């Protein structure tokens, strides 16, 4: 699976304004709703907050992969956001989170959803890739980092 199959250039925030976990989820959900009229932003935020209650999606190394399912979308949708300052996201390693990859899947898409989560997780474990994302200044530069990585896959 290529990241750019699910991540559109317009679904990237190079400078998150959020200061808290809830605000990050709201900001990412807002952008997903702007790009997809089938996404109910309020419902999505609720789904994401419920998922976070089960355990933080902050996987460590400055990365979080919040995810959830909605029954009214047809395909997996992704939104990426970066916070230079970092946000307390209750990450497993206790450190601030800088890179957020929101994944929204249709309710009936177990295989595709898990494939996307696995691909993103593997990608975000690569220190060089994370550094490239942190050094990117614009959504165009961030998109290019993902595009360059997809070209290797």
Instruction: Give per-residue pLDDT as tens, 25-59.
Output: 999 999 999 999 999 999 999 999 999 999 999 99
Rounded mean pLDDT of 6-33? Answer: 97
Residue 90 counted as domain residue: yes
How far is it, in rounded angstroms, from Cα 79 to Cα 141? 15
| pLDDT reading at 94 higher than 90 | yes
How far is it, in rounded angstroms, from Cα 101 to Cα 80? 5
Residue 152 counted as domain residue: no
Q: In terms of pTM, does the model score above 0.85? A: yes
Give the CATH number for residue 52.
3.40.930.10
Residue 103 counted as domain residue: yes
pLDDT, residue 108, reads: 83
Told to judge if 67 belongs to the known catalytic residues of this protein, a careful annotator would answer: yes
7, 26, 67, 98: the catalytic one is 67
Using the structure block, give the residue that is written with the tokens 């990450």.
91
Residue 153 counted as domain residue: no
8 Å CB contact between 29 and 44? yes
8 Å CB contact between 79 and 31? yes
Residue 102 counted as domain residue: yes
Residue 112 counted as domain residue: yes
| pLDDT reading at 110 higher than 80 | no
Domain containing 8: what range? 3-147
Residue 28 counted as domain residue: yes
Question: Per-residue b/e over 98-135, b at no fewer than 16 CB within 10 Å?
Answer: bbbbbbbbbeebeebbeebbebbeebbeeeebbebbee
- The total domain count for the chain is 1
- Whole-number average pLDDT of the chain: 94
């Amino acid at each position: 699976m290529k990241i750019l199959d699910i991540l559109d250039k317009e679904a990237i925030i190079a400078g998150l304004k959020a200061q808290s976990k809830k605000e990050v989820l709201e900001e990412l959900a807002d952008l997903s709703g702007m790009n997809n009229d089938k996404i109910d932003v309020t419902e999505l935020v609720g789904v994401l907050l419920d998922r976070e209650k089960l355990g933080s999606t902050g996987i460590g190394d400055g990365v979080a992969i919040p995810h959830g399912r909605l029954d009214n979308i047809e395909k997996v949708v992704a939104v990426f956001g970066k916070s230079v300052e970092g946000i307390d996201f209750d990450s497993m390693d206790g450190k601030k989170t800088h890179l957020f990859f929101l994944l929204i899947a249709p309710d009936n898409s177990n295989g595709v959803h898990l494939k996307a989560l696995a691909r993103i997780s593997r990608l975000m474990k690569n220190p060089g890739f994370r550094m490239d994302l942190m050094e990117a200044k614009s959504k165009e530069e961030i998109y290019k980092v993902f595009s360059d990585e997809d070209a290797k896959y």
